[in-house]
C-alpha cells in the first residue's frame, strides 16, 4: 500500500466547508510535460461554519510554484493530499487565493485529472480528479461560477459554459452556472466538429457540436440525433430546458468510464459516440442513445442540482439512470427495455448484493469513492425511483419533481432533501421507504395463497413474508415498504383484476380479493415492481399458463424464464432430462407472430451460466462451472432440435432487407433472427453462420456470426479476415479481442486470452482494450472458473500489472472475484491465494486495496 493505512470517509462526519466561493478563475498554459495552471479563487467565510478556520484545499501530484493571498505571497508547503493556510494567515472576510502549479499530463496514465489521449488534452474530474489539476476544495458542495482561459497552439480549445473570446493560441470560456469542481472540463486538440442546433421551447438556439478526430465525422450522426431527441424529451416529459448557448460533446479513446456530464462539455468514451452500421452493433446504437441521453439529463439532475457529498451519489446517478431508462422506453419498446433492465439488475446488482461487496444505495463510509460507482448505486438507485413513482402515482411524481427542481436548483442536495420533496408534494410519510437507501441486501419475498369458496363468490388471499439476509456490517433488517403489483387471471385467461399495487409495510401481510367466481391464477410482481427475489412455489402448468396468457409482458417473460431456470437446475442437480413441455411452450411463444420480435428474442435467451451459479448457491448447492456449462449447452442443443423447423422459419422470415437501419423494430427482427441462429448453429455445423459472416453488411450480423463460429470451434479463417478488414479501427478490434475470449471453450479460455495478450495490438494501457480482453475472460464463466486455476492466475497477474498504471480500472475489474465464496474449497483456495497475492503487492493503490480487502473479508468461518 502506498498510504500506510487508508482512512475511511464517513457520512456521519459531514461538515460544511468553512468557505464559500464567489468566483473561480483558471488559466491553463498547456504543455504535455509541464502544464501551468494559474488559479484565482474568491473565498468568503461560510456562515454555516462560524468562527475562524484554516483554509484547507485538496491537491495531489502538484508542483506548487507560487501562492498568494490578496496579492501577497504566502509560504505554504503542500503535503501529500493538499495545502493548508492557517487561519491566522487569512484576512477577515472575503479574500482572493491565487496559486500557480505545474502538472505533467503526459505522465498521467490513471486518466484522472488532466491527461493526454491520442495527442489531445482532456480531463476527467469526477469524483476527485480536480485535485490533480490545482489546489481546490474538491468536494461537490462547494460550487462556483468558473472563468477559464486556455493557452495552447492546439486548434480547438474547449471548456465549460459559453465561449467568450478567442484568438491565436488562446480561448476563454465562461460558465455562469455555479458548479462543483468535479464538473470542470477542458479539451484541447486537433479535432473536427459535427454540428447541428436545437431550439429550446422558450426559443434559445443552442449550437450543438460533437468533436472527434478527422476521419470519424461520418460516425457521429446517431449520437447527434440521440442528443436532439433527449433534449426534446426532457422538455416534454420533465419540463426541463437546456441553459447555455452551446452544448459540446468530445469523443476520446482513453477513458475509464463510459461518459461524463461536465457542464456544457460532455466527454465520452469514443465507443459511446462513434457508430456506423458497418462498425457498431444494434446494442451499441441503443447504448449510445441511452448514454447520450443520460449525460444530457444530468444537466438538471446532477449539475443544476448536485450532491452535497459523495454518499449522496445515487441522488444524481440513480435518478438519471431512471430517467434514461424512461427515455429508452419512450424511444423503443417499454416492455423489452424493462426486461433488459431487470436482466442487468439481476446479473450485476443482485450479484453484488449477495456477495462481499454489498452496500446500501447510500453507503455510510468509503475508502475510495471511485469504488462506489456500482450497480447498487446506479441500478438499484434507479429502481428506488421507480418504486417511489409507483407509490405516489404519475401525477404525484411529476409534482414532486417540479418541487425538487424549484426548491433545490443551484444547490447541493441530499437524499433527505429528495424524500422531503416527495413528502411535501404528496403528503406521504416516507420514513419507512428511506430504508431502501440505508439498508443493503435484496429482500426475499415469500408468497402463500389461500382460496375460500363462498356464497357471494370466493375469497382469494395472498400472504407475503419479507426477509432480507444480512450483509457486511448490517445484520438486522427491519421490514421495508414494498410495492407489489399484482393482477389476477381467470383460468380461461381473462384478466379479472387488472394491475393493482399492493403496499406491503409489515414483515408478514395478507391481501384479500373477495367476490371471485373461481380461484384465480395470480400474476405477482408485475413489471418487476420492486427489486426483490420472489420465492414462490408454482406448478409447471401455472407457469406455462402465464407464459401463454399473462397480460403483463414482463411477467409473461418471467414465467418462461423461471421455467427455463428450473429445467436447467433439475438437469444440473438431478441429472434430469430436458423438458419437452417446456420446449413446446417456448415454441408456441416464439412462433406467435403477434408478439414483438425483440420480445421473442428475449424469451429465447437462456439464463446465463453466472445466473445459474447464483441460483444454485442461493439454494445451497455448490455450483460446478463445467457442469453448468455442459448442461446449458445440452439444453440449447436439445431446444435447437426440438424447435428446428420453427427456428429455420424464423431465421428466414426475420431477414431484414438492406439498407441497415438501427431503429428498434429492425433491431428486434435481427435480435430474433440471431437468437434463432445461436440455436441452429449447434446443429447445422456452422453453415448458416459462415454464410451470414460472408454476406453481412453490418456489424450486428458479422459479430454474431463470428461468435457462432467460435462457439462451434470453427472460424479461424473468419477471425483472421475480420482482423484484416478492421485492423485500423480500434473499436472494432476491441470486439475482435473480446469475441475470441468470451466464446472460447472453457478449458481454452485462459490460453486464448494469454495468446491474445501477446498480440501487438493488445494496448493494455487503454481501458477499452484491457476490458475487451480481461472483461471477456471474467465473463466466460466456465473459462474463468476452470479448475486448472489458469484464468485466476492470469487475471490476477494482469490486475497487478495494471494497478500502478490505472488504479481505478484495476479496482473495478477486481470485482470479477466477488462471487468467490459460492464455489468449492479448491476454487476458493485458488482465488484466496490470488486475492492475497494482489493485496500484498508493494505500493498497491488504495483503490484496489479497498476492493480486494472487502472481497477477502467474505471468507466464511
Residues designated catalytic: 295
Dihedral of the alpha carbons of 223, 229, 230, 232, in degrees to the nearest 10: 150
C-alpha to C-alpha distances, 244 to 146, 161, 205, 249, 286, nearest whole angstrom: 14, 7, 9, 14, 27
Q: Examine residue 143 and tell whether it contacts ligand BES (CB under 6 A).
A: no
Q: Examine residue 259 and tell whether it contacts ligand BES (CB under 6 A).
A: yes
* Residue 317 or 341 having the CB closest to ligand BES: 317
* Residue 317 or 847 having the CB closest to Zn ion: 317
For 576-707, strand residue ranges (E) read none
**Region from 123-131, 191-199, 217-225, 318-326 binding Zn ion, contact rule CB under 5 A:** 318-326
Q: Examine residue 250 and tell whether it contacts ligand BES (CB under 6 A).
A: no
Q: Examine residue 294 and tell whether it contacts ligand BES (CB under 6 A).
A: yes
Distance from C-alpha of 610 to C-alpha of 823, rounded to nearest angstrom: 12
Q: Examine residue 126 and tell whether it contacts ligand BES (CB under 6 A).
A: yes
Phi, psi of 259 (to 5 degrees): -165, 165
Q: Examine residue 253 and tell whether it contacts ligand BES (CB under 6 A).
A: no
Q: Examine residue 257 and tell whether it contacts ligand BES (CB under 6 A).
A: yes
In which residue are the cell numbers 418487476 written?
A: 528
Residue 36, Cβ neighbours under 10 Å: how many?
16
CB 188, CB 221: distance < 8 Å:
no
Q: Examine residue 298 and tell whether it contacts ligand BES (CB under 6 A).
A: yes
Question: Which of 413, 125, 431, 419 is closest to 257 using CA atoms?
Answer: 125
Distance from C-alpha of 92 to C-alpha of 71, rounded to nearest angstrom: 15
Q: Examine residue 754 and tell whether it contacts ligand BES (CB under 6 A).
A: no
Q: Examine residue 227 and tell whether it contacts ligand BES (CB under 6 A).
A: no
Q: Contacts with Zn ion in 558-577 (CB under 5 A)?
A: none
Distance from C-alpha of 184 to C-alpha of 263, rounded to nearest angstrom: 7
* Residue 294 or 556 having the CB closest to ligand BES: 294
Phi, psi of 428 (to 5 degrees): -90, 150
Report in angstroms how near the CB of residue 755 gets to ligand BES at its nearest.
Answer: 29
* Residue 24 or 303 having the CB closest to ligand BES: 303
Q: Examine residue 321 and tell whether it contacts ligand BES (CB under 6 A).
A: yes
* Residue 187 or 606 having the CB closest to ligand BES: 187
Report in angstroms how near the CB of residue 318 gets to ligand BES at its nearest.
Answer: 10
352 binds, among ligand BES, Zn ion, none (CB under 5 to 8 A by kind): none
414 binds, among ligand BES, Zn ion, none (CB under 5 to 8 A by kind): none
Count of positions on this chain that bind ligand BES (CB under 6 A): 16
C-alpha cell at 812: 473495478
Report in angstroms how near the CB of residue 260 gets to Zn ion at its nearest.
Answer: 8
Taking residues 320 to 359 in sequence order and writing x for each that binds Zn ion by CB under 5 A, - otherwise, the string is x---------------------------------------
**Region from 288-296, 522-530, 582-590, 668-676 binding ligand BES, contact rule CB under 6 A:** 288-296
CB 1, CB 844: distance < 8 Å:
yes
Distance from C-alpha of 446 to C-alpha of 464, rounded to nearest angstrom: 5
* Residue 415 or 750 having the CB closest to ligand BES: 415
* Residue 303 or 740 having the CB closest to ligand BES: 303
Q: Examine residue 261 and tell whether it contacts ligand BES (CB under 6 A).
A: yes
Taking residues 332 to 371 in sequence order and writing x for each that binds ligand BES by CB under 6 A, - otherwise, the string is --------------------------------------x-
Distance from C-alpha of 90 to C-alpha of 86, rounded to nearest angstrom: 7
C-alpha cell at 624: 460446478
Question: Which of 519, 629, 521, 494 is closest to 571 using CA atoms?
Answer: 629
Q: Contacts with ligand BES in 299-318 (CB under 6 A)?
A: 317
C-alpha to C-alpha distances, 475 to 362, 689, 851, nearest whole angstrom: 17, 51, 21
Give the pairing of strands 306-307 and 412-413: parallel
CB 401, CB 240: distance < 8 Å:
no
C-alpha cell at 570: 433439475
Q: Name the residues that contact ligand BES, by CB under 6 A.
A: 126-127, 257-261, 291, 294-295, 298, 317, 321, 370, 373, 378
Q: Name the residues that contact Zn ion, by CB under 5 A.
A: 317, 320
Amino acid at each position: 500500500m502506498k498510504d500506510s493505512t487508508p482512512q475511511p470517509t464517513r457520512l456521519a462526519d459531514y461538515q460544511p466547508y468553512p468557505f464559500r466561493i464567489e468566483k473561480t478563475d483558471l488559466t491553463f498554459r498547456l504543455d504535455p510535460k509541464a502544464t501551468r495552471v494559474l488559479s484565482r479563487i474568491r473565498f468568503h467565510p461560510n456562515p454555516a461554519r462560524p468562527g475562524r478556520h484554516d483554509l484547507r484545499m485538496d491537491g495531489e501530484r502538484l508542483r506548487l510554484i507560487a501562492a498568494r493571498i490578496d496579492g501577497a505571497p504566502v509560504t505554504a508547503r503542500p503535503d501529500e493530499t493538499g495545502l493548508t493556510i492557517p487561519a491566522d494567515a487569512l484576512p477577515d472576510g472575503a479574500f482572493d487565493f491565487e496559486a500557480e502549479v505545474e502538472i505533467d499530463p503526459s505522465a498521467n496514465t490513471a486518466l484522472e485529472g488532466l491527461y493526454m489521449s491520442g495527442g489531445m488534452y482532456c480531463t476527467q474530474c469526477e469524483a476527485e480528479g480536480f485535485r490533480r489539476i490545482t489546489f481546490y476544495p474538491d468536494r461537490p458542495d462547494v460550487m462556483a461560477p468558473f472563468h477559464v482561459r486556455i493557452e495552447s497552439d492546439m486548434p480547438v480549445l474547449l471548456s465549460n459554459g459559453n465561449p467568450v473570446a478567442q484568438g491565436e493560441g488562446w480561448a476563454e470560456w465562461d460558465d455562469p452556472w455555479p458548479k462543483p469542481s468535479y464538473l470542470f472540463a477542458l479539451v484541447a486538440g486537433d479535432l473536427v466538429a459535427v454540428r447541428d442546433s436545437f431550439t429550446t421551447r422558450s426559443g434559445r438556439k443552442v449550437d450543438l457540436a460533437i468533436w472527434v478526430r478527422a476521419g470519424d465525422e461520418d460516425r457521429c450522426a446517431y449520437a447527434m440525433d440521440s442528443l436532439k431527441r433527449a433534449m426534446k424529451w426532457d422538455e416534454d416529459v420533465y419540463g426541463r430546458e437546456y441553459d447555455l448557448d452551446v452544448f459540446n460533446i468530445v469523443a476520446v479513446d482513453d477513458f475509464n468510464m463510459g461518459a461524463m456530464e461536465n457542464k456544457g462539455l460532455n466527454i465520452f468514451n469514443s465507443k459511446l459516440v462513434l457508430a456506423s452500421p458497418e462498425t457498431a452493433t444494434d446494442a451499441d446504437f441503443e447504448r449510445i442513445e441511452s448514454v447520450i441521453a443520460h449525460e444530457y439529463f444530468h444537466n438538471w439532475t446532477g449539475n443544476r442540482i448536485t450532491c452535497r457529498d459523495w454518499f449522496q451519489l445515487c441522488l444524481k446517478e440513480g435518478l438519471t439512470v431512471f430517467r434514461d431508462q424512461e427515455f429508452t422506453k419512450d424511444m423503443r419498446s417499454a416492455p423489452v427495455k424493462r426486461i433488459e433492465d431487470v436482466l442487468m439488475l439481476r446479473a450485476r446488482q443482485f450479484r453484488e448484493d449477495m456477495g462481499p461487496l454489498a452496500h446500501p444505495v447510500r453507503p455510510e463510509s468509503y475508502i475510495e469513492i471511485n469504488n462506489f460507482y456500482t450497480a447498487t448505486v446506479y441500478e438499484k438507485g434507479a429502481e428506488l425511483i421507480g418504486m417511489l413513482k409507483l407509490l405516489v402515482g404519475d401525477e404525484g411524481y411529476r409534482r414532486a419533481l417540479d418541487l425538487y427542481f424549484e426548491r433545490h436548483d443551484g444547490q447541493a442536495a441530499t437524499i433527505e432533501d429528495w424524500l422531503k420533496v416527495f413528502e411535501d408534494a404528496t403528503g406521504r410519510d416516507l420514513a419507512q421507504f428511506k430504508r431502501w437507501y440505508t439498508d443493503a441486501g435484496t429482500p426475499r419475498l415469500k408468497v402463500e395463497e389461500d382460496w375460500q369458496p363462498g356464497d357471494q363468490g370466493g375469497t382469494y388471499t395472498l400472504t407475503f413474508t419479507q426477509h432480507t439476509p444480512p450483509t457486511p456490517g448490517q445484520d438486522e433488517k427491519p421490514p421495508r415498504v414494498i410495492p407489489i403489483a399484482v393482477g389476477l387471471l381467470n383460468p380461461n385467461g381473462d384478466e379479472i383484476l387488472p394491475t393493482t399495487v399492493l403496499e406491503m409495510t409489515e414483515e408478514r401481510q395478507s391481501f384479500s380479493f373477495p367476490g371471485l367466481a373461481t380461484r384465480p391464477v395470480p400474476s405477482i410482481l408485475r413489471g418487476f415492481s420492486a427489486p426483490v427475489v420472489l420465492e414462490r412455489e408454482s406448478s409447471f402448468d401455472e407457469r406455462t399458463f402465464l407464459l401463454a396468457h399473462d397480460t403483463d409482458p414482463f411477467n409473461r417473460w418471467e414465467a418462461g424464464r423461471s421455467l427455463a431456470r428450473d429445467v436447467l437446475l433439475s438437469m444440473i442437480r438431478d441429472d434430469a432430462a430436458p423438458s419437452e413441455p417446456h420446449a413446446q411452450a417456448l415454441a408456441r411463444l416464439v412462433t406467435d407472430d403477434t408478439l414483438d420480435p425483440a420480445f421473442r428474442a428475449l424469451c429465447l435467451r437462456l439464463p446465463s451460466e453466472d445466473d445459474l451459479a447464483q441460483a444454485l448457491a442461493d439454494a445451497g448447492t455448490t455450483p460446478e462451472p463445467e457442469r453448468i456449462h455442459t448442461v446449458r449447452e445440452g439444453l440449447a442443443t436439445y431446444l435447437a432440435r426440438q424447435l428446428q423447423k420453427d427456428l429455420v422459419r424464423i431465421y428466414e422470415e426475420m431477414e431484414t432487407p438492406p439498407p441497415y437501419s438501427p431503429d428498434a423494430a429492425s433491431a428486434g427482427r435481427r435480435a430474433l433472427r440471431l437468437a434463432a441462429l445461436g440455436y441452429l448453429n449447434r446443429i447445422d455445423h456452422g453453415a448458416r453462420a459462415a454464410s451470414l459472416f460472408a454476406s453481412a453488411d453490418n456489424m450486428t450480423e458479422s459479430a454474431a456470426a463470428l461468435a457462432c463460429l467460435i462457439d462451434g470451434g470453427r472460424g479461424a479463417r473468419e477471425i483472421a479476415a475480420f482482423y484484416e478488414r478492421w485492423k485500423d479501427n480500434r473499436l472494432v478490434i476491441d470486439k475482435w479481442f473480446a469475441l475470441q475470449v468470451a466464446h472460447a471453450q472453457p478449458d481454452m479460455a485462459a490460453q486464448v486470452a494469454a495468446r491474445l495478450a501477446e498480440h501487438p495490438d493488445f494496448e493494455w494501457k487503454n481501458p477499452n482494450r484491457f476490458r475487451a480482453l480481461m472483461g471477456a475472460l471474467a465473463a466466460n464463466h466456465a473459462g474463468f472458473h476452470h479448475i486448472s486455476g489458469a484464468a485466476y492466475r492470469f487475471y490476477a497477474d494482469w490486475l497487478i500489472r495494471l494497478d500502478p498504471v490505472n488504479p481505478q480500472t484495476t479496482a473495478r475489474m477486481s470485482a470479477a472475484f466477488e462471487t468467490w465464496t459460492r464455489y468449492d474449497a479448491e476454487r476458493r483456495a485458488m482465488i484466496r491465494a490470488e486475492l492475497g497475492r494482489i493485496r500484498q503487492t508493494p505500493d498497491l493503490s488504495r483503490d484496489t486495496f479497498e476492493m480486494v480487502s472487502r472481497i477477502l473479508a467474505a471468507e466464511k468461518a
